[in-house]
Structure 1
Amino acid sequence: MANRQMDRFTPVFAIAAASELAEMHPQTLRQYDRIGLVVPQRTSGNTRRYSLYDVHRLREVARLSAEGLSLEGIRRVLKLEDRVRELEGQVHELERALSDELLKRPDRRVFAAGAGGEVVTLRRGTRTRRNAEVVVWKP
């Protein structure tokens, strides 16, 4: 077997161990699997294997249930949290790509404020001309 790296998504816990870690009855885990709330991976022999992430989700389900949410409400909350994580990952990826692209360009644009307060585009390495006029204000 290849030397695999383990992470929080690696399915390692049988249902008995996962139920103990999540502080739930094994039948509850089977029910959540049946309704699609927390679906563990399966071995070639079709036995459930839970990951640390699955155990975390089971604890989250228990917490939300204790707060009075129905199983359908919990499913929606978990789905929305997954979507938020997915979108945050996309935002970080886009920010990184934008940053890399801006750093690659030698002709990056520089902006400054003009005399009237407008935005002025400058060539890299140049400065705006400063106005040395004195304006006297009389009320």
Structure 2
Amino acid sequence: MAFVAPPDVAKNCCSIQQARVKLSVPKMLVLDLAAGFYISFGAETSIMVSHDLTALGAGFQRFMLASIFSVGLMIVINGGAELFTGNCLLWVAYMDRKISTYELLRSCLFVATLYWFSYVRQCKEATNVVACMKKAVNE
């Protein structure tokens, strides 16, 4: 693997971000949903695997949980999905004047809005699950 100097890393980042802000809204939506699926896959898998590892010690259990969760992040990167944390790198291209303020805000606000709606939906479902569990316990 070749060494890449920090200025070259910033240039590569700028070129990637320039392409990212040119994505159409439907493509951003699909890539955002894919990122959510990938992250939830990593999270659910790590929880399921680490659940049975309590007998081996808390340290090993947490190590395995973190190791398997990161697989979801690897899939996001390899799959080219659209995470909000990746949009935070848009500032590099913006400060280098490679993208406009409109492009920065459009991309960040669209992805952040999608995350907000999915978060509200997940909270609503979690509230329903808790209510169902309480009802089942009381019966």
More helix by share: 2
Shorter chain as denominator, the TM-score bin is 0.3 to 0.5
Structure with more contact order per residue of length (Cα contacts < 8 Å, sep ≥ 6):
2
- Please, what TM-score do these two structures have when normalized by structure 1? 0.32
Bigger Rg over Cα: 1
More strand by share: 1
